[in-house]
Amino acid sequence: MTPAFDLRLLSTPLPPVNLADCLRETGGVAADPQSPGTVYLGTWDHVQAAFSHPDLLREHPDHPVASAPISRVPSPGLIELDQTWPVFRDPPAHPPLRRALMAALTGALSPDRQERIAQAIQSHLRVLAAQSPFDAVELAHFVPSLAMTLLLGLDDPQEFQPLVVQMLRGDPTGFRTARLEVVDRLSDALSQQRQNRADTVLSRLDQALPDAPKATILSLALFLLTTGHGGVKDAIVNALWLAAQGLDGGALAQIRAPGAGAMAAFHETLRLLPPLRMVDRYVHGPIRLGPHQFNRGDRVYLMIGAALRDRLAFDDPDVFRLRPLAPKSLAFGLGPHACLGQHLAPWLWATTLGAVFAHGVPQQSGPTRWTEAPDESRLRALSLCLIAQP
């Protein structure tokens, strides 16, 4: 029997466990009386169907970027953190770019590069563990930025990776300063890789999109450095928090390397604590989901956190339990907006947790600070000590 622990036994800022049940009483859909045309979906069936529907997109159908051509992809100097530029606000309009990005990410993760990333994570963790207690959020910030630095073919991660973290964590002025330097480094790296034909994400994008200007390739590289960083970071921190509370029944401590057991634990962690508990989509329809009709322009909130606690989809939905036959996690999304890093993120997660538990079992050594945003399961601070196992 898989060890289990009921999350309701602790008072924590977790998603409401009964929202799917409440919404089911209204047919799975709730309208916002204060905002006509706004509805909430919270059951597994409704959220899964909405994610996969081709006429539910991130941008309002009347917004100009919803139908913008690929030539509108801006230069790196114009990119802001919210990635509102058209190619990613409406990815179904540009499937070649999504295919190129996915292929570049998966193809560049060679065994040699995996080993380099794993060694760098272990080295960084040794430094942090020696400072016991250490900030788990700082460790988790390091992992995705380091991985993308090496995957893009930047061989000076000690110099480049801190710039990426500064770009992601700094104030607006610090972000813009760091971003410009990051773009300069990426531009130099692309020029060098065009000469030596290196097998990196950057060169793979360049070869897959031969007609794209250099600014577009740099924009895509910058996008990969920024998007998804928070999701990987939060998945790592949330797993360490679960382990430190004993909420995983000891299952996470068994992780030593990526594998079937690690992947089951990864998806269960995301099910209980998805980094994003809610996302919105706009109807480009009209469309119908089950018995419900939606009109063009309606705003639909997909309550991921509620769907992942749906009692009709999961037995004991408030309990951490390895579920090898569980439905696919919604934390990566489905359909046209599915996460590009859905293959890289589980590997990074399992590699990091394996390195942590090789040092010891995490024990919380200070207060926990969660963000106050209702749509996030995100820790601002988590101080840990690692207790060596006998």
Are 183 and 152 spatial neighbours (Cβ–Cβ below 8 Å)?
no
- pLDDT tens digit string along 169-227? 666 666 677 777 888 888 899 999 988 878 899 999 899 888 877 877 887 888 888 77
For 98, what's the count of Cα atoms within 13 Å in the CB-facing half-sphere?
Answer: 17
Domain containing 292 equals: 7-387
Residue type present at position 41: L
- pLDDT tens digit string along 109-153? 889 989 999 999 999 888 888 887 988 988 898 898 889 888 998
Report the number of distinct structural domains present in the chain: 1
Q: Give me the mean pLDDT over the 376-380 stretch.
A: 80
The answer, yes or no, to whether residue 72 has pLDDT greater than 50, is: no
Q: What is the pLDDT of residue 313?
A: 87
The CATH number linked to 132 is 1.10.630.10
Q: What is the pLDDT of residue 380?
A: 85
Give φ, ψ of 109 to 5 degrees. -85, 65
- pLDDT tens digit string along 257-269? 788 788 889 999 9
End-to-end Cα, the chain, rounded Å: 24
Residue 132, in any domain of the structure: yes
Give φ, ψ of 8 to 5 degrees. -70, -10
Q: Give me the mean pLDDT over the 344-366 stretch.
A: 91
Q: Report H helices in 302-384.
A: 304-307, 344-359
Measured CA to CA, the distance from residue 135 to residue 366 in angstroms comes to: 10
Give φ, ψ of 361 to 5 degrees. -90, 130
Residue 2, in any domain of the structure: no
**Residue 336 — pLDDT band, cuts 50, 70, 90?**
low
Residue 122, in any domain of the structure: yes
Measured CA to CA, the distance from residue 131 to residue 129 in angstroms comes to: 5
Measured CA to CA, the distance from residue 37 to residue 39 in angstroms comes to: 7
Q: Report H helices in the chain.
A: 19-24, 44-52, 86-89, 95-108, 111-130, 136-151, 157-169, 172-196, 201-208, 214-226, 229-245, 260-272, 304-307, 344-359
pTM of the model: 0.85
DSSP state of 69: -
Q: Mean of the per-residue pLDDT values for the chain?
A: 78
Residue 251, in any domain of the structure: yes
